[in-house]
Structure formats: structure tokens, C-alpha cells
Structure 1
């Protein structure tokens, strides 16, 4: 099942096990059960601490297997064959069940151990989803740390009947005690905060007690991370308040234009960014959404959704952007019920079905090409009279037999049966005629919107809502700088955001120096 190189790497990891692991496999005579047993046999051959028992005829999902250890009440199960993006989840689960300590903070570990209640989690994932491992790994760790938490990670593509029955149309989708819990990428901190209702209030009290920063970065994407590193390297007090560290990059699959790195994936790049920031004395405040910017004479304040306020001598706004929506009837109603924004994550759930891709730029055409290899049929709908994607992508798209391209078309409504999408209507912009299309999925790929609504009437924004900045990254408010996809700087690219974040930090440092200089020197400057 595993190739020689992977076995060598895995064997080195499994040497870190400090206690035995018992794997109980639930199997039938099917091909997938045999594949799973082959994987488990490889694990047994790589470590004398691992044993496998195969069960036939039980009532568990097949194929599936539990990980446990004698004397420990660990309830952790994989339903399916955790390869692809989920192979890392399997390796981490083996290490944690086998006694290797997690790198999670001691404070968060104690919070998980202290959860009061019984939590039965089920997560539906796809092997091609780069967002799913974070959720699977977080819930697996919770099941290892707290005997009142159980978790089953389920490959949605393998258990299609379940997916249909439970109306799962986006991954990751999490159920708690049989009821929908949440969808999409979630960190361990986010999950714990959602079930530990007092966590937010406790964190707000901690934030209120913090001293003023020299530089406060709002946002934790590439621009925010770069700004934090450059500021911290100057030896000044630096903080980062972010709703989720990594931002939009977490939802990016393939990255092939990050200079000096031939190719990587968004989550891998974010992990490297987070590790780099952690090398410096930076106060990272995750899961914090900024809601108000309050300029002041000496200190600038940022009010958070929790009600807490942070103070700083300078602020760098790096709030990034999010997927642009069509804003048509039915889009919000059927979001994650057939309306999706990540073809890599959710594409496998539409195997054999008909879908539409909205948008004819690079992202839209790439999405259509990827989906064409999974689904029955793809209809690409573009507002303009021609596609805007690179010529090589257009050529590939038009070579595919199960793709139709419609240009000069405006999507006017998404239709559904109350539970899931069953079609859409578009308007021919030349004839104004309306045309319905029957389908099961709609993938929206029409660009980004800056996360700047909370800054209206505080800093100058462009008609598109972008933060207006000068060549130094300065905004219309003294001491407030901005960088990244939320600004008027053209070309929304990771490498550009990093450069702009670095520049904004250098500008903020220069501002601090000039503010602290005697008045005569400031006038001369």
C-alpha cells in the first residue's frame, strides 16, 4: 500500500511511540476493505507496538478502524482509507494515541481535558480537501485527551449514501451528537471556543489587561505575518489580532508562483509563516475579529467583537479579502447545500453530477478543468463576452468533452428544493432572454472582496472598498498603515502582500522614530 520512501519516513515517526496501539478494523469482503487492511498491515510491519484485529459482521461503517491503547479510553475512528491530505492526520493520530505529546499549548490542552459534557463528533472529509485535515486532526486530538470526546473521520466519497442522506454538500462538515455542528475550515481553538461557552469572555478579560503595543497588526495572512516579523525584528512591542491566522491562503490549493518555492499548498505555507512568526516576540491573538478602529492623539484603539479593546502607537491593517458572492436569490440559502466556493475541497462530493462554474478568469477555468475529471458535466458561465483566463487554460478547457462554455451570461438566481440546489437561471446579456439549467452544484469563482466594511467612515476607502494607501503603505489616518489584498495596491498575490506587509512595518517603525524625536528634529525631517 505504501511505497518504500513513505515507509522509511513513517518508520522513523513510529519509533517515537511510547505505548502500544491497538487497531480494530471493521471490514467486509469489498475491495476497499482489502485496501485498508493492506495499509494497516504496513503499519504493523513498521512498528512492534502496533497490533491489528479485523472484525467482520459488526455494525460499524465498513471499511473503518479504531485507534486505541490499553488502559486509555480513546474513541477515535477513521471510516475509509486516510490517504491523500488525510495521511498526515493518520500519522498524527498514531503518534498521539501512542503517547507522543502534542505541540498544542499546555493551556489549551488543559481546557480540552476540562470540557464538561459528552461530545460525539463525526467529520465528513474528502481526500483532496486541503481544509479538512485541520478539523480532523483537531477533533482526533480532543478524542485522545478527553475520554468524553469521540470522533469519527468519514471519507464522504466512499460513503456516498450517508452523504446523500445527511445532505452533506461541502467538506469538512462536522456533526455533534447527531446534529449539524459546523462546516468549513476550523482550528482546534475555534472548535474548543465554540463548545466552551465561557472561553470568549475569559479571553476578552486577558486582552483588556494587555499593555499598549508599539505596532498592532490586524490580520494574520501573508501581509500580516510579514509585517509582524519585520516589526518584531526592530525590537519593538508587536501584537497580531486575527480572526484566523493564514487568512485566504488557507483556502488555496496549489501555489506555483511563490518565488524560490517551486510549488506548495496554502496550509503548508501558512504553517511555515506561523512558525516563522513564533520565532519572534510577537503576541498572537487568534480568533479575534476587529470591529472598530478608534484613532487617537497618543494611542490608536482597535475594538474587537468580544468588546475588548487593544491599544497601540501604530496599527497595520492587513485584513485581506474573501470570496466575492454573486448576490443573487438562492445563493445564501443554498450555501454549502450545493453552492460552493472551493472546487478542490467540495468537488468529490459532486461525483457523477452536473455543476456550473461561475467566472471565466483563471480561477474559474481552473475549477472547471478540475471538476470535469470528477463530475458528469460542467457548465462554465462568464459575464463578459469572452473568457479572461490564460490562453493555455482556455485551450485545455475547450478540449474537454463534458464542458460547455456560455459567455455574455449573467446568473440571476439559484434554485433548490428547500434542502439542496437543483438548478440556476441565467440571462443572455445580448438578447435578455432567461435560460434555466438543471444541475446539482454551483461553484462561484468571481474574485475577491476586501474585508474593510468595519473601517468605513474611519479611513479613506476606494469605490471598491479597498483601503487607500500611498507609496509607503500609509492610510488617511496618521499612524495607521495597511497592506495586502485589502488595499488599493494592484495585483492580489501572496508575494506582493508579503512585500507590502514588510514595507508597512518599516513605515510604522519610521513613524514611531519621528514621533519620539524632539520637535525641532521632526520639523527638520
Structure 2
């Protein structure tokens, strides 16, 4: 099952095991069991520290668990953890043996203090680039909480269970059978969800911080670049981010960032964070901004930021770089059927619709690329475009039209997502030329219709927004509020691209520094 190169690499990694471990398989008479047995046997053959056992009693078969020799498994894999999940397998093998995880002492102490007794299930698809972070986070929590287990479940391996639980988006997480979350979640986000006192503790720490010279709001390409440029000036710099990496974390392939021929969003985001940390920037992750008050309105002449948890931060200057999010259709049924047929990431959720009929809403590059990808998995793809023509690059249109299982409907307004109470069954749309309504029967709807700026928290502030709710900036990235600058996809600057956002972040930091010099701060 493992090719020669993979086996050699895994053999080298297994030399780092801190103690003997057992891989305990729970099998039945299925072909899938044979594959599990083959994988477990091959891994055990690579190290004297690994023993393969086939006497497991896990109810979910086939599967295998990993445990220190003499202990019961708490980390399970129900499926073959290959593809994106192979790293999850390697880390589980090492960490179960006692190999130290690459997390801060503070985070590890917080995990251990959870003192959890729970059973987690996380449903994944092996093509999902968001799933490994969730699997690895839950594995680490289970390893450090003796009363807890976690199981990675490959939806393709357990299709009946996927159908029974109506799982139509991954990763999907259950705690003791109750749904607690879906989509990309970092280790810190999961801990915060499980640690009920985390918000109060965070607020106390944040309130104690001294004023910053530059405080960046948002941790995407614009914010990360702004922080690096500010920190390189030797001034006190901080980042407040709801999720470091921003929308890049949900991007699969990046092929247009000059000098980087190809990378993936999560890796790009991790590299950004490592670069920012190199300069000692104070990163305050998982924090959502509630309000902002300009320097000319505060007693100390500093810009003040209020967070959702009640904490307040102050800074001589602030750079708003909150980015954007996927635009929703805003039609009846969309919210009701999110993760139950309505999806926004074809890479992650596409495999769950194998052999089914789906629609893609939007005929731009994102929509047509999604349709092309999905066409290789599903029975049929219908592209629904509002305009009278597709807006994607011609090379993408040509590829789409060459596929036999795709249909394009243009000049169409999506009006309703229809379901049976548990999952999507159809899409209703109106022909804009005739006003005639039509219904397309299908199981999934992938929405790819552009972006909305993350500026809702600014609507009741003095910061000027455009009619599209973008932050209005000049050529120096200044807003209309003293000491407040902005950069990236949340602003009126055209062309929402990573490289443009990065450049705007650099400009904003330089402008903020220049402002402090000229104002004598």
C-alpha cells in the first residue's frame, strides 16, 4: 500500500518514537478491512517499537486505534488516513508514544487542564485540506485527556453513516453524538469551544496590555504584511485576528504569488504566521472586534478597540485589514440547509456528493473551476449564472463546455433552496428574460458568487464605508478617521488578490509609521 519512498520516509520518522506503541485494528470480513490490515502490517514492519494487533473491539469496523503498549487506544482512524490525512497518522503515531507536539507550553497546559471525558467523531474526506487541522487538534486533546477518545471517519469508508447523519460538509465534528462544529477550526478555536472560561481569561490578559504603536486588525495577507513592515521599524506592534490567515486558509491552490510557483492556502498562512512571529509581533488570535473609536475622540489621544469578549486595547495607530468572506445567495432555504447540501468549498465537500446531481451558483473563474472539479466526482453539474454570459476566463469556459455531464443556465436568478427538512432536494430559479420559474432537482448547491467585506462592526462607527460596505481609503491607505488606516480586501482598492492585499498592507504600515513621525508620537 505504501510506496517505496513513503515507506522510507515513515521508517525514518518512526525512529523518533519515545516509547513502544500498539496499532490495534478492529476488522470485519470486508475488502476495506483487508486494506486496513495491509496498512497496519506495513507500518509495524518499519519499526521494532510498533506492534500490530488485530484483536480490537471497536464498534466501528473496520478501524484501528493507536496506544502506548499496555494502554487502551484513545486515537482512532476509521478509514485509510492517506492523502491529506497521512500527516495526521504520522503525528498520532509519534505523539501517542510521548513525542512532544509543536505547540506552546501555554496551549499544552490549557489542553491538559480541560480534564475532558468525551468521545469525539470527526467526519472527513481525504481530499479536504481543512480536515487535517481538526483531526490533529482532536487527536492531541485525546492524547492529553485520559478520559477522551477521538475518531477520524472517512466518509467514503462509512457512506451509510454519512447518509444516516445527513453529513454533507466536512470536517464535521460530534462530541458524544452531538454536533458541535464544522468547517476549518484551529487547535486554539477548538480549545476555546471546549474551555468555557476561556473568554474571561483572555479578556483579563488583553486588558492588561500596554498601548501599541501599531495595532493591526486582521491576520490575512494584508494584516500579516502590515505587521512585519511595522515591526521592522522597531515599534510595538500587535495583531488582533479572528482567525490568523483569514480567507487564505480556505484557499486550495495558490499559483500566482510571484516567486512561489505553487502552494496551498494553509501552508501559505502558516508561513505568514511564522514570518510575523519572527519579529516578535504580539499575535492575539481568535479575537473579534466589536467597536473602534478614533484618537480624536478618546481622553488619551489613542485609538481604542473594543473586543467581543469585553476587552479593550489602545494604540497610536490602527490598520484595518479584516478581509472578506464568501457572499451568500440570501434566498429562502440557504441558511436552513447550510452543511446539509448548501456548501461553499468544492474541494472539501465535493467528495460527499459522489454520484449525485449538484449545482454551482456563479459563472466567474471560481464558479467554473468548481464545476470542472465537481464534474469528475458527481453525476451532473448545473452552472447557474445571473448574467447573460459566463465571466470566467475563456480557457476555463472551453474546458467546462467539453465536459459531457455539465449544463450551463444563464440569465437566471436563484430564488430558493428547497429541501425535505433534513437535506437539499432542489434549487428554484427564475428565468430573467421571461420571469418563468424552474426547479432543478439535485442534492447539493455550491455557492461561488464573490466576496463581501468583513466590515459589519464598522457600520455604527465614524469610519467611512462605500455603498458596498468597503472601507474608503486614499492612496496612502488613510481612512477618514485620525490614526486609522486600512488595507486589503475590506477596502475600496480594486482587484481582490493576495499579492495586492500584501502590497496594500505594506503601504498601510509605512503610512502609519510616517503619521507617527509627523504627529510627534
Same fold (TM over 0.5): yes
Does 2:118 correspond to 1:115? no
Between 131-140 and 32-41, the greater mean CA deviation after superposition: 32-41
For 1:345, what is the secondary structure of its paired residue? helix
Does 2:42 correspond to 1:42? yes
Give the C-alpha shift of residue 434 in structure 1. Answer: 0.2
1:352 corresponds in structure 2 to 355
Give the C-alpha shift of residue 478 in structure 1. Answer: 1.8
Task: String of CA shifts for 1:187-228, please: whole Å, max 9, x gaps.
Answer: 111111112111110110100010000000000111111111
User: Where does 1:212-291 land on structure 2 (aligned, <5 Å)?
Assistant: 212-291=211-290
User: Where does 1:85-484 land on structure 2 (aligned, <5 Å)?
Assistant: 85-297=84-296, 298-456=301-459, 457-484=461-488
1:513 corresponds in structure 2 to 517
On the 8 A contact 2:295/2:482 being kept in 1, the answer is no
Between 70-79 and 116-125, the greater mean CA deviation after superposition: 70-79
1:31 corresponds in structure 2 to 31
Change (3 A) 1:25 1:74: closer
For 2:274, what is the secondary structure of its paired residue? helix
On the 8 A contact 1:353/1:377 being kept in 2, the answer is yes
Q: Matched residues in 1 for 2:428 and 2:337: separation?
A: 14
Q: Matched residues in 2 for 1:285 and 1:304: separation?
A: 11
For 1:516, what is the secondary structure of its paired residue? coil
Q: How many residues end up aligned between the 2 structures?
A: 516
On the 8 A contact 1:74/1:144 being kept in 2, the answer is no
Q: Matched residues in 2 for 1:190 and 1:498: separation?
A: 25
Change (3 A) 1:294 1:71: farther
On the 8 A contact 2:383/2:409 being kept in 1, the answer is yes
Please, what is the CA RMSD of the aligned residues? 1.3
TM-score of the pair, normalised by structure 2: 0.97
On the 8 A contact 1:74/1:143 being kept in 2, the answer is no
Between 13-22 and 235-244, the greater mean CA deviation after superposition: 13-22
Task: String of CA shifts for 1:49-103, please: whole Å, max 9, x gaps.
Answer: 11111238x4532321000003556511000000111111111111101211011
For 1:85, what is the secondary structure of its paired residue? helix
For 1:151, what is the secondary structure of its paired residue? strand
Q: Matched residues in 1 for 2:398 and 2:26: separation?
A: 46
On the 8 A contact 2:219/2:322 being kept in 1, the answer is yes
Give the C-alpha shift of residue 253 in structure 1. Answer: 0.7
Between 354-363 and 34-43, the greater mean CA deviation after superposition: 34-43
TM-score of the pair, normalised by structure 1: 0.96
Give the C-alpha shift of residue 322 in structure 1. Answer: 0.3
Give the C-alpha shift of residue 469 in structure 1. Answer: 1.1
Does 2:504 correspond to 1:500? yes
Gaps of 5+ in 1: 518-525
Change (3 A) 1:71 1:314: farther
Q: Matched residues in 1 for 2:237 and 2:42: separation?
A: 47
Task: String of CA shifts for 1:322-361, please: whole Å, max 9, x gaps.
Answer: 0000000000111111100001111111111111100000
Gaps of 5+ in 2: none
Give the C-alpha shift of residue 316 in structure 1. Answer: 0.5
